[in-house]
Amino acid sequence: MSDYRFGAAILAFDAPRSFPPEEIVYVELASNQVALALKTVQQQLEIEAQLKEAKALAEIERALSESESIGVDKVLQLIVNSAKELIPKADTVILHLIDNEHQLLVPRAVAGFKEKTKRKLNMRLGEGVAGQVIATGKMITVADVNRTPFSTPDCTCEIPFACCGADSKQRKKSWDDQHS
Amino acid sequence: MEKSLFPIPLGSEETNLIKTVLQSRHSMVIEDVQESTYVIDPSPFKSQSSQMKSALILPWS
């Protein structure tokens, strides 16, 4: 519990005054109660988040064990849905698999997109952030898609925002508008 | 719990004071803000509360 630091309370007075020890003890006790309540809420939130994560992972594990009967596509869809749910601020999730024959990254499952756009989200291998991740095998984080070194302004693939083109946000909006 | 309900910008003096309280995990008494050795420049406190002359600062940790 000592790892939590929520902040500080400032009790202000409009005149200089001394603080008797018993008054300080009393206020500290009250303050500790508030801190304890905050810790309880924080721990509850953490437990709920961990439980949600564990449930999602258990569901994926169960689906993987039954993939022969329910189909790989359903398992992949479950994975992207869970990823989007576990990362609340994620607007869209795409799971690409490599099509070695056509040298493409093919979306096998998406979340946050309109379903009919799924088949048009193919990407060429080696392009953009996804291409870098596949080439290096390492995770890449992009804080601002407009300022990534992996930008591909001349990108011609059908999901330019995933390639992190220079005007990717505008193009994504345009894409969604055209396909709504 | 991350979002501030009252977004009051803190001055460096206030920030240092609160940081000290949080690090020590002990409450701090300022009987006279103007004369306090902890508060070199009381003006940041004045900007928050022109009436503030003394204070008790408590860590929530």
Closest Cα in chain B to A9: B58
Q: Which residue did the predictor score with more confidence, A149 or A1?
A: A149
Q: Which residue did the predictor score with more confidence, A14 or A176?
A: A14
pLDDT at A164: 41
* pLDDT > 90 fraction of chain A, expressed in percent and rounded: 14
Q: Which residue did the predictor score with more confidence, A162 or A110?
A: A110
pLDDT at A168: 45
Distance CA A175, CA A169 (A): 10
Min Cα distance A8 → chain B (Å) is 4
Q: Which residue did the predictor score with more confidence, A129 or A28?
A: A28
Of A2, A6, A19, the CB nearest to B56: A19
Closest Cα in chain A to B3: A6
> Hey, which residues does A97 pair with through a beta bridge?
A106
Alpha carbon B29 to its chain centroid, in Å, reads: 10
Chain B residues touching residue A42 (CB < 8 angstroms) = 1
pLDDT at A20: 94
Instruction: From A12, A42, A18, select the one nearest B44 (Cα to Cα).
Output: A12
Chain A residues touching residue B52 (CB < 8 angstroms) = 12-14
Instruction: Tell me: pLDDT of A137 over 50.
Output: yes
> Hey, which residues does A124 pair with through a beta bridge?
A104
Residues A28, A34, A36, CA angle at the centre, nearest 5°? 100
Q: Which residue did the predictor score with more confidence, A28 or A152?
A: A28
- Helices and strands in chain A, H and E counts: 5, 4
Per-residue pLDDT of A53-74, as tens digits, reads 898 888 888 888 887 788 888 8
Chain B residues touching residue A7 (CB < 8 angstroms) = 18, 22, 60
Highest mean pLDDT among A23-32, A159-168, B32-41 belongs to A23-32
A33 sits in which H/E element: helix A21-65
Instruction: Tell me: pLDDT of B1 over 60.
Output: no
Per-residue pLDDT of A80-125, as tens digits, reads 888 888 887 788 888 888 888 888 888 888 888 765 555 566 777 7
A159 confidence band (pLDDT: 50, 70, 90): very low
The backbone region for A136, taken as left when phi is positive above 0, alpha when psi lies in -120 to 50, beta otherwise, is alpha
Per-residue pLDDT of B10-58, as tens digits, reads 677 777 888 888 888 888 888 887 777 665 455 555 555 556 788 888 9
Helix (H, G, I), strand (E, B) or coil at A9: strand
Amino acid at B55: A
A155 confidence band (pLDDT: 50, 70, 90): very low
Distance CA A171, CA A162 (A): 10
A52 sits in which H/E element: helix A21-65
Min Cα distance B4 → chain A (Å) is 11
Mark yes or no for CB contact A11/B61 under 8 Å: no
Mark yes or no for CB contact A27/B27 under 8 Å: yes
pLDDT at A21: 92
pLDDT at A177: 55
Mark yes or no for CB contact B61/A15 under 8 Å: no
Alpha carbon A172 to its chain centroid, in Å, reads: 18
